[in-house]
Amino acid sequence: MEKWNMSPASKDSLEIDIAPDIETLVSSLMCKTVVTGQFTEETKRIYQLRITVRQQSAKLIKFMFFPGWWHLPFQEVKVMKAAHRETQSLVKKMVIRRLEEMKNGARNEGDVLSLMLEAYQDEASGVSLDDVIEVCRSFHFVGPESTTRSQIWMMYLLAKHPEWQERARQEVLQVFGEKKPNVQGLYKLKTVTMIMYEALRLYPPTVIFHRSISKDTKLGDMVLPAWIQISIPLILMHHDPDIWGEDATQFNPERFAEGGSFNSRMQLLTFTWGPKKCTGESMAVVIHKTLIATLLQGFSFQLSPSYLHAPKHVFLLAPEHGMKLLVRKFV
């Protein structure tokens, strides 16, 4: 908001591609306050490696539906493997450093990493050091990407549907006024929550996810042999009229007016389900609500005439030509 530097008295709007700003902000939030306690050289390097993987994924997207694509002798695959190895090494370095600091009496930072390392040091917890490293890697590598994409699409839908943007703004002002959003107030944002879930339904960060079966599994009338891969077309399920009604392709936050009952029926699978359910779901929800509330307190948004709607799935669902909005200071 400070970067946009818009005069409160100005009635003019400013065209901004919010995608890069949202990406930088979400990455900083996750890396600085949740996992590492500080924005280190390692986290900056991981940020660069994420961009590298994204670029290589774009080149390999047509091969990723074939089993064994990870073993293809392509240069892009080699670059991706090298990026993943370096990321693993950097995360392990950060985890070991924090573990040594805690053993030497350093205070608990209160972040996810400290909590996981406390569990690791408790033999009864069953948490291994590899578990800690893997969760941290997910927070650093996958978490910022998926949360960023979801936040961008939420801003798109708010800009496209001004009536819902205004409803959300009035709710935010009623709950917080001009004060900074707090966790207690976030739970009172019913309209914002409805908009958030509808955005996650229409534009899930990934349109498909894969699961490998570790043993022979009976699924309905089928028996699936061990170690085959199942692909679940998330985007098709989220747009299925048999599940969501005839307006399944339309933006209608009212369908979530009953709260989280849809989760018990496993209709919304943005965060997946079961043992592999996203470990960062609660964190992502808090980030989304906080950013929406803060931005609506300060600005109004419209789609720019130069915006071209072109969702593209390259590793994650992103606007191919950026997210250009007309931003106006809210008075």
Measured CA to CA, the distance from residue 162 to residue 143 in angstroms comes to 29
Measured in degrees and rounded to the nearest 5, phi and psi for residue 31 equal -75, -35
How many percent of the chain have pLDDT more than 70?
92
In this predicted structure, what is the pLDDT of residue 237?
Answer: 92
Say if residue 1's pLDDT is above 80.
no
Say if residue 260's pLDDT is above 60.
no
Kindly tell me the sign of the dihedral angle through the C-alpha atoms of 241, 244, 246, 247.
negative
Say if residue 327's pLDDT is above 90.
yes
The number of beta carbons lying within 10 Å of the beta carbon of residue 255 is 18
Over residues 281-297, the mean pLDDT reads 94
Global pTM value: 0.85
Beta 299-303 vs 324-329: how paired, if at all?
antiparallel
* Mean model confidence pLDDT for the chain: 87
Contacts of 58 (CB under 8 A, 6+ apart): 314, 315
**Domains along the chain?**
14-329 (1.10.630.10)
In this predicted structure, what is the pLDDT of residue 188?
Answer: 96
pLDDT band at 10 (very low <50, low <70, confident <90, very high): low
CB distance 251 to 196 below 8 Å: no
Contacts of 23 (CB under 8 A, 6+ apart): 144, 148
R_g of the chain, CA atoms, integer Å: 21
How many percent of the chain have pLDDT more than 90?
47
Outline where 74-205 has alpha helix (H).
75-103, 112-121, 129-141, 143-160, 162-176, 183-186, 190-202
pLDDT band at 28 (very low <50, low <70, confident <90, very high): confident
Q: Across 27-31, 100-104, 226-230, which has the greatest mean pLDDT?
A: 100-104
- Model confidence pLDDT, tens digit, residues 132-168: 998 888 877 778 888 999 999 999 999 999 999 999 9
Residue type, 107: R
